[in-house]
Amino acid sequence: MKVLPRSRALVYAILIVVAVAVLLPFAFMLSTSFKPPREIYEVPFRFIPRQPTLANYKSALLEVNLARGTLNTVAIAVPSTLGGLLTASFAGFAFAKLRFPGREALFAMLIATMMVPGVLLLIPQFSAFAEIGWVDTFWPLIVPGAMGTAMATFMMRQFFKGVPDEIIDAAALDGATPFYLFTRIVFPLARPALITLAVFGFKGAWNDYFGPLVYLSSPDKMNIQQMIAATQNAYGGDPGILMAGSALAMVPLLVMFLFAQRYFIEGIATTGLK
Amino acid sequence: MQARRFEREAFWAYAFIAPPVLGAIAFAFLPMAASLFLSFTRYDVLTPPQWIGLDNYRRLFNDDFFVGRTAVNTVFYLMGVPLGIAAALTVAVLLNQVGALRGLFRTVYFIPSVCSIVAVALVWKWIYRADLGLLNMTLTSMGVRDPPAWLNEPELVKPSLIFMGVWTSIGFNVVVYLAALQTVPRHLIEAAELDGANAWQRFWHVVFPVVSPTTFFLVVTGTIATLQNFDQVYVMTRGGPTYASATFMLYIYVTGFQYFQMGYASAMAWLLALGVLLVTRSHFALAKRWVHE
């Protein structure tokens, strides 16, 4: 769309105002996180602390034990993400390229689960996991994702549909098994789709609050989100520690976002992943 | 054309699809059936469920608190969803007009969407603080006397949470809209310009109809997420003050996991699910009037 030069300046002005509004809370968080207690409540607010300190980060990592929370989060996020990548790509490949009775019906059934509101599943899942003794363990948070969600399977199927049939036919003529074809030839081709899926899977597991809130109760098993949320009530809700904790909970994903931005944007723009 | 290509192709295929299909059965279909069953029982997890027929549903329709939660959810839905989408579309249309810096702006706007809602909520809680929050400190320094306690006023808590929600979701929505705006045919815009259409007319008669499927997608997914909103409210206000921000989902969580009335909570869950379904159905019904495929 062509715009007049004068309105071009206005467009930039609005975009900059929005950018500042988006960044301001982060600046506020970082600034507070580096302040010693006596500077935190100073009016007017200063963005650059006079005597910056790392004490809040030290407390957040050691006293609040976010170090432990980070390990717990990784122990949940990594197996559920990697497991999900493997299972969803095997299944996505089968739905896209193999022939078997009931293919369309089974796929439709899988897709139907995406429309079930999560609220319905919460209580029966909890009581089933309680029945087998999995409450207050990581398993309820790992296993459903590691078995391959409908969304992940759908995405991988879309990707594998783009793999030329000639590759499949050639492998079949050579007498290869589907397993060999998949692991040696097809799976390596899927790298971009796998990275997108991994990025969203890891983000989901890292940021998850509701799942751990329901399933994890021992303080030493809590994930990082639970721990920073709990900090509100401990340590007198010390804003310095709270903001340091929030910053720490954001850092890994921000780093991942900056390096893998392309995959975030493509994943959203093409499939509406969240 | 070969009838069979691989040896035992179906066997391999079933093995490949087994994990997600079994997952769907174990973590979606069986729980859904169990949830329906539990909604007709009294159940506290520790003792076996006890069949009580329609009692939970009867109780629900006489539960004033439940009616109040519906009202809270309705406000979040009717205010939050359109506002979030209108803001995102505006920003996306503006962003689509700049060249070199588009990527940079998009990156900045997307940052909140990457961050955990808990961390974001803690920062916003501190911004909205009555005494020494960033917002009220700024207002005071600008000469405003007695700025309001944003999260502690029943009338202000929902707008405050909705504004924060717009801030959180704008990046995601902008990215989706930017992709859609690439599909607006250039010749249509040029034709409209030749016909003397001004910028607003070009937007309303050309751009908006072309991106309407995207708007529809964002309305539907945004509504489903908003009606099941929990994390933001739980961390920010615990539903307060005086339940002014207590959503349906919060009520279900408290009933099920703090009072262990899992049967009653299951009945609530079914009502919420039906509500979500009804709203989604009406969106689809209305779509015929404004969504151009």
Tens-digit pLDDT profile for residues A3-36? 556 688 899 999 999 999 999 999 999 999 999 9
Which pLDDT value is given to residue A4? 58
Average pLDDT of the segment spanning A202-231: 93
Most A-contacting residue of B7, B122, B221 (CB-CB within 10 A), to test interface: B122
User: What angle, 0 to 180 degrees and rounded to 10, lies between the N-to-C axes of helices B157-181 and A261-271?
Assistant: 90
Q: Which CATH superfamily is domain B63-290 in?
A: MetI-like (1.10.3720.10)
Whether residue A1 has pLDDT greater than 60: no
pLDDT above 70: percentage of residues in chain B: 99
Structural domain boundaries in chain B? 1-29, 63-290
Give B132 or B114, the one with higher predicted confidence.
B114
Rounded Cα distance, A155 and A212, in Å:
26
- The Cα-based distances of B63 to A194, B58, B59, B259 in angstroms read 48, 9, 6, 16
CA distance A145 to chain B (A): 9
The model's pTM: 0.90
pLDDT of residue A124: 95
**Quick check: B125 pLDDT over 60?**
yes
- Distance in angstroms (rounded) separating the CA atoms of residues B157 and B241: 8
**What's the pLDDT at B138?**
86
- The first and second tokens of residue A165, run together, are 């049939």
Q: How many CB atoms lie within 10 A of CB A55?
A: 15
pLDDT in tens, A156-182: 999 999 999 988 988 888 889 999 999
Sorted by sequence, the CB contacts under 8 Å of residue A234 that are 6+ apart come out as A64
Calpha distance B270→B34 (Å, rounded) = 12
Q: How confident is the model at residue A237 (pLDDT cuts 50, 70, 90)?
A: confident
Classify domain A58-271 at the CATH superfamily level: MetI-like (1.10.3720.10)
When pLDDT is cut at 50, 70 and 90, the band that residue B1 belongs to is very low
Tens digits of per-residue pLDDT, B9-29?
Answer: 999 999 999 999 999 999 999
Contacts of B149 (CB under 8 A, 6+ apart): B130, B156
What are the boundaries of each domain within chain A?
5-53, 58-271
Q: What are phi and psi of B118, to 5 degrees?
A: -65, -50
For B240: left if phi > 0, alpha if psi spans -120 to 50, otherwise beta; the answer is: beta
pLDDT above 70 (res A273): no
B19 CA to centre of own chain: 29
- The first and second tokens of residue A85, run together, are 């990548």
Q: Is the pLDDT of residue A134 over 70?
A: yes
Three-state secondary structure call for residue B41: strand
In chain B, the residue whose alpha carbon lies closest to the alpha carbon of A181 is B6
Using CB atoms, which residue from B12, B140, B175 is nearest to A268? B175
Q: Higher model confidence: residue B7 or residue B90?
A: B90
Q: With the CA atoms of B183, B184, B190 and B195 taken in that order, what torsion angle do they form, in degrees rounded to the nearest 10?
A: 160
Mean pLDDT, chain A, rounded, equals 90
Q: Is 90 exceeded by the pLDDT of residue B293? A: no
Q: Which amino acid, one-letter code, is at A57? A: Y
Write the DSSP string, B28-42.
IIHHHHHHHHHTTEE
Instruction: Assign A46 a pLDDT band (cuts: 50, 70, 90).
Output: confident
- Are A228 and B122 an interchain contact pair (Cβ–Cβ within 8 Å)? yes
Q: In the predicted model, is pLDDT for residue A119 greater than 50? A: yes
Confidence band of A267 (pLDDT split at 50, 70, 90): confident
pLDDT band at A274 (very low <50, low <70, confident <90, very high): low
Spatial separation of the C-alpha atoms in residues B143 and B113, rounded to whole Å? 33
Q: In 3D, which of A202, A194, A185, A183 has the Cα closest to residue A152?
A: A194
Report how far residue A251's alpha carbon sits from residue B215's, in angstroms, rounded to the nearest whole number. Answer: 31
- Chain A residues in contact with B270 by the CB 8 A cut-off are 120
* pLDDT exceeds 50 at position B3: no
* A77 shares contact with chain B (CB less than 8 Å): no
Model confidence band, residue A235 (pLDDT cutoffs 50, 70, 90): low
Q: Who among A29, A118, A144 is closest to B123 (CB)? A: A29
Which residues in chain A have Cβ-Cβ distances shorter than 8 Å to B167? Answer: 21-22, 25
Q: Enter the DSSP assignment of A186.
A: I
Residue A19 to chain B, least CA–CA distance (Å): 6
Q: Is the pLDDT of residue A127 over 60?
A: yes
Kindly state the average pLDDT of the residues A115-126.
Answer: 91
Q: What percent of chain A has pLDDT over 90?
A: 70
Chain A from 46 to 65: CB within 8 A of any B CB: none
Find the residue in B nearest to A256 (Cα): B114
